[in-house]
Chains A and B, each alone.
Chain A
Amino acid sequence: MTAMTRGRAGAAAAASSAWSPAVWIALVMLLLTATRARAEPATLPPAGAGPATGLADSAGLRATVFGTPPQDIASMPDRVPLTEIDIAMPWARPLPPLFWFDRRLRVWLSAQDKPAPLAIVIAGTGSDGNSANLSVLRAALYQAGYHVLTMPSPTFPRFIVAASSTGVAGDLMQDGHDLYAAMQRIIGHLPRKVRITDIDVLGYSLGGANAAIVKSIDANEGKLHIHRAVMINPPVSLFASVGRLDKLFAQSIGSGDEGVERLYRRLYAELANLYVASDRVQVDENFILNAAAAVLKTDADFSAAIALDFRLDLVDMFFAGDLYAGTGVVIDPRHPPTVSDSLAQIQRVLRGMPFSEYFSRVFAPYYLKHRPGATSASLIADNRLDIIGDALRGNPDYYAQTNSNDVILNSRELTWLKDTLGSRIVVYDHGGHLGNLGERRQVADMLDMLGGRWPLAPE
């Protein structure tokens, strides 16, 4: 559910050396997100009503992939100070040697030098606490006078390893509790010179739903006194949304790893031919940008890019879940791989596995065992925003921003959001999923909502 934002197209610093990893990152992003795949017959059962692309039209798909055009971005400050905080969480599961590098949770703080409200921003599925989307939100919020704390998604591998109490990510309430505990610990460790007057939470995509859940947990526990919550492009039903992305993958790339391999071969050939024709001396960012324009053309291309982006996030989450839950799908629980073992084969198998496999083979077995009385149906129902529906309806401090052509929503879900939040939701007519994040209007509305100035808010 992450968007390949403007960052994907242009964030990697211009690198002149043949040794530059930035170029490789840019290349892999293109290799993995650009495609000219032909439609394959779907092999997965259809997920919910409506098309796999949700409400997205052609423009919505393009906006989702390319992100907000830089010229539409709200005015940005010249300088945002940044402190990187690595912090251990005592409740984290024992550290598997394989994840030695993920021992402590990493979050980023931009502090004002005067007393100010704190805005905690949560990333979308599989994203780090320093993603391109978070950088835009951080800059906008800092400029508006907030301390800004950006956090990874609870589905990001480093969060799963360092801050999850279960290791099995994706459950809205469980992830919310882990996030809430992590926030308390981080705020407790902030230097005294960071003077906080108020706390608000916000998030984009899945992070939006996480933010609302965290606020509702805080309403019961009262440890942080979170004031307002803003959801940006949130899902309504997690499993319906990812089910559609599974379906999108099957349609645009094909099922299993053969689809990925076919896509890779086609892409390699296209890139190599462009490169040979280009008279360049190295594959650099500039080449990748030009190639992307030539390679990404049809709705199917953009659909494949969106589906693959999600799948790659899922691969990491699946791996961690299988390791922690001991479900043995790809990892033998008695002989987990060591730091020097090749993981190529495991990666290959996981690339071919949709979210439905994660649900039925890792997520459901784990939570059915640990949650007395739960059923598959109840697990699915627990992952809808309905679980805090009353709070969303009755509490004036919840807000949302979404788009009428969002990939992760269908019309019934959008209607539910509008009915539930009433005047506290704004629906833009463009942007797909996160393709207008950071836009002038989106930022201005977001700041009004956070500051309690949203014009239509009840007095």
Chain B
Amino acid sequence: MNTVGPSRFICAASLCAASLCAALGGCASEAVSFRSVPAADPAAENAAAAENAAAFAAAASTSDAAGTTEATQAAGETVPITPADAPSMYTYDPWSRLNRFTYRFNARFDEAIFLPAANVYRRLPSPLRTGVHNFFSNLSEVDSIVNYTLQIQFQRSLRSLGRFVINSTIGIGGLIDVAERLKLPGAPTGFSDTLARWGMHPGPYLVIPLLGPSTLRDGVGLLGDFGTTYGINIANLYRGDVSWGLDVADAVDERAHVNFRYYSSGSPFEYENIRFLYVRKRLIEDEGLRAKTKSKGASTTQQENDRNAPAGK
């Protein structure tokens, strides 16, 4: 354990220095700059779009039949959500000034360090990247197993367990997602979902340094997920000498999979737009979690009372 200390210190120090550089020098000051970005692959993109379109067309043609049966099924079990139930268009954001500062910091950090790193990573051969991505997804199954259990969703917990076992063995340590081909697609969850399942509201909007948009509950959930993986410490990956490297690789892989660029909208309202989107996405997911437990019908009256309150409160 003695060797861990200095290496961590160096990593932490270099991360701090890098962050500082990003914050201070995020906006390059020269008149012209050229940045070679990963080449576009229009042929493959179009093939993927064609696949999407086929799925879309299939959905459109069956949505009438399937949509109504799904809707009636849902109506049988839960109370349908009406427009009056929709949360306010305003979002609860009491820490707005701090959040905006963090958002700007994240934007500069992303532009200066995170995105360039992801772009380098994107130049690696695609099978290699898929392997890395699968590896980290597989590790996250452990957290899903724990949290599905805490949510009393044993079937899903078993599914995650099954995925973890299959992919860790047949899938060579998680490098290949064999379970997906066996019709066991991933369905990740986390501690934030567990909190939501037991009735916790999203709370104030929160922009987390380096990670980005979140809410107070999701931030707590993130700490919970970190604690879970650190506590279980599978294969000593989370407390060993290589943990920092693994964390960085995980972050870069995650970033490379996210098709988002800070301020590519050019809009002065980007902070507002992302906040609106993120919180609505989470609220809709909460509706899904609540619906699975809503046999008491108690929460609906509570919702009516505060429907004019900013969303998330």
The answer to whether B281 touches A16 (Cβ under 8 A) is no
Q: Is A173 an interface residue (CB 8 A)?
A: no
The answer to whether A10 touches B284 (Cβ under 8 A) is no
The answer to whether A281 touches B49 (Cβ under 8 A) is no
For window 16-45 of chain A, which residues contact chain B by CB distance below 8 Å? 16-25, 27-28, 31
In the complex, which of the residues A86, A87, A274, A282 contacts B285, with contact meaning CB atoms closer than 8 Å? A282
**Complex Cα spacing A277 to B284, Å:** 12
The answer to whether A269 touches B258 (Cβ under 8 A) is no
User: Closest residue of chain A to B107, judged by CB?
Assistant: A101
The answer to whether A16 touches B188 (Cβ under 8 A) is yes
Q: Is A292 an interface residue (CB 8 A)?
A: yes
The answer to whether B87 touches A82 (Cβ under 8 A) is no
Q: Is A254 an interface residue (CB 8 A)?
A: no
User: Closest residue of chain B to A313, judged by CB?
Assistant: B267
Q: Is A103 an interface residue (CB 8 A)?
A: yes
Q: Is B35 an interface residue (CB 8 A)?
A: yes
Q: Is A217 an interface residue (CB 8 A)?
A: no
In the complex, which of the residues A12, A27, A70, A138 contacts B40, with contact meaning CB atoms closer than 8 Å? A138
A341 → B minimal CB distance (Å): 8
The answer to whether A82 touches B37 (Cβ under 8 A) is yes
For window 85-109 of chain A, which residues contact chain B by CB distance below 8 Å? 85-88, 98-104
Q: Is A293 an interface residue (CB 8 A)?
A: yes
Q: Is A227 an interface residue (CB 8 A)?
A: no
Size range of the interface on B? 35 or more
Residues of B within 8 A of A10 (CB): 48-49, 52-53, 56
B72 → A minimal CB distance (Å): 9
Q: Is A332 an interface residue (CB 8 A)?
A: no
The answer to whether B269 touches A19 (Cβ under 8 A) is no
A315 → B minimal CB distance (Å): 7
Q: Is A283 an interface residue (CB 8 A)?
A: yes
Q: Is B36 an interface residue (CB 8 A)?
A: yes
For window 57-84 of chain B, which residues contact chain A by CB distance below 8 Å? 59-60, 63, 67, 70-71, 73-74, 78, 80-84
**Complex Cα spacing A16 to B192, Å:** 16
Q: Is A220 an interface residue (CB 8 A)?
A: no
User: Closest residue of chain B to A261, judged by CB?
Assistant: B89
Residues of B within 8 A of A81 (CB): 36, 39
Q: Is A415 an interface residue (CB 8 A)?
A: no
- Interface segment, one of B93-101, B167-175, B235-243: B93-101
Q: Is A273 an interface residue (CB 8 A)?
A: yes
Known: A13-B259, A135-B42, A275-B285. A98 touches B32 (CB 8 A): no
A264 → B minimal CB distance (Å): 6
Q: Is A144 an interface residue (CB 8 A)?
A: no
Residues of B within 8 A of A78 (CB): 41-44
User: Closest residue of chain A to B58, judged by CB?
Assistant: A293
Residues of A within 8 A of B278 (CB): 21, 24
B306 → A minimal CB distance (Å): 15
Q: Is B301 an interface residue (CB 8 A)?
A: no
Residues of B within 8 A of A311 (CB): none
Known: A6-B53, A264-B89. A128 touches B277 (CB 8 A): no
Known: A16-B188, A19-B254, A88-B31. A269 touches B82 (CB 8 A): yes
Residues of B within 8 A of A71 (CB): 50, 53
**Complex Cα spacing A83 to B287, Å:** 43
- Interface segment, one of A199-207, A342-350, A393-401: A342-350
The answer to whether A157 touches B267 (Cβ under 8 A) is yes
Q: Is A136 an interface residue (CB 8 A)?
A: yes
Q: Is A51 an interface residue (CB 8 A)?
A: no
A187 → B minimal CB distance (Å): 12
Q: Is B121 an interface residue (CB 8 A)?
A: no
Known: A273-B80, A293-B59, A344-B272. A17 touches B188 (CB 8 A): yes
The answer to whether A139 touches B32 (Cβ under 8 A) is no
Report A296-334 CB contacts with B as 1/0, cut-off 8 Å.
000000000000000000011001100000000000000
The answer to whether B260 touches A283 (Cβ under 8 A) is no
Q: Is A448 an interface residue (CB 8 A)?
A: no
Known: A83-B34, A83-B35, A135-B42. A24 touches B59 (CB 8 A): no
The answer to whether B43 touches A77 (Cβ under 8 A) is yes
User: Closest residue of chain A to B88, judged by CB?
Assistant: A261
Residues of A within 8 A of B211 (CB): 19
**Complex Cα spacing A130 to B257, Å:** 19
Q: Is B305 an interface residue (CB 8 A)?
A: no
Q: Is A69 an interface residue (CB 8 A)?
A: yes
**Complex Cα spacing A75 to B74, Å:** 44
B220 → A minimal CB distance (Å): 14
Q: Is B161 an interface residue (CB 8 A)?
A: no
The answer to whether B46 touches A103 (Cβ under 8 A) is no
Q: Is B276 an interface residue (CB 8 A)?
A: yes
Residues of A within 8 A of B42 (CB): 76-78, 80, 135-136, 139
The answer to whether A339 touches B63 (Cβ under 8 A) is no
Residues of B within 8 A of A426 (CB): none
**Complex Cα spacing A19 to B52, Å:** 22
User: Closest residue of chain B to A102, judged by CB?
Assistant: B266
The answer to whether B287 touches A17 (Cβ under 8 A) is no
Report B244-267 CB contacts with A as 1/0, cut-off 8 Å.
000000000010011110111111
Q: Is B137 an interface residue (CB 8 A)?
A: yes
A78 → B minimal CB distance (Å): 5
**Complex Cα spacing A152 to B260, Å:** 18
Further 18 A-B residue pairs, CB within 8 A, beyond A87-B33, A135-B45, A286-B55: A9-B52, A16-B188, A31-B277, A70-B47, A78-B42, A81-B36, A98-B268, A104-B33, A136-B42, A157-B267, A265-B86, A276-B81, A277-B70, A277-B73, A280-B288, A290-B56, A290-B59, A340-B96
Which chain A residues have a beta carbon within 8 Å of chain B's beta carbons? Answer: 6, 9-25, 27-28, 31, 69-71, 73, 75-88, 98-104, 110, 128, 130, 135-136, 138-139, 152, 156-158, 161, 189, 191, 260-262, 264-266, 268-269, 271-278, 280-283, 286, 289-290, 292-294, 315-316, 319-320, 339-340, 342-344, 347-348
What would 25 A/B residue contacts be, using CB atoms closer than 8 Å? A15-B257, A16-B186, A19-B212, A19-B258, A21-B258, A22-B259, A31-B277, A70-B52, A79-B39, A80-B39, A84-B35, A85-B34, A86-B32, A86-B33, A99-B268, A104-B31, A130-B264, A135-B45, A138-B40, A161-B266, A273-B74, A276-B78, A277-B70, A290-B63, A293-B56
Please name the 9 residue pairs, one residue from A and one from B, whose CB atoms are nearest each other, closest first: A139-B42, A76-B42, A21-B260, A158-B266, A24-B277, A277-B74, A70-B50, A157-B266, A265-B83
Which chain B residues have a beta carbon within 8 Å of chain A's beta carbons? Answer: 27-28, 31-50, 52-53, 55-56, 59-60, 63, 67, 70-71, 73-74, 78, 80-87, 89-90, 93, 96-97, 100-101, 104, 107, 137, 156, 186-190, 192-193, 211-214, 254, 257-260, 262-269, 271-274, 276-278, 280-281, 283-285, 287-288, 291
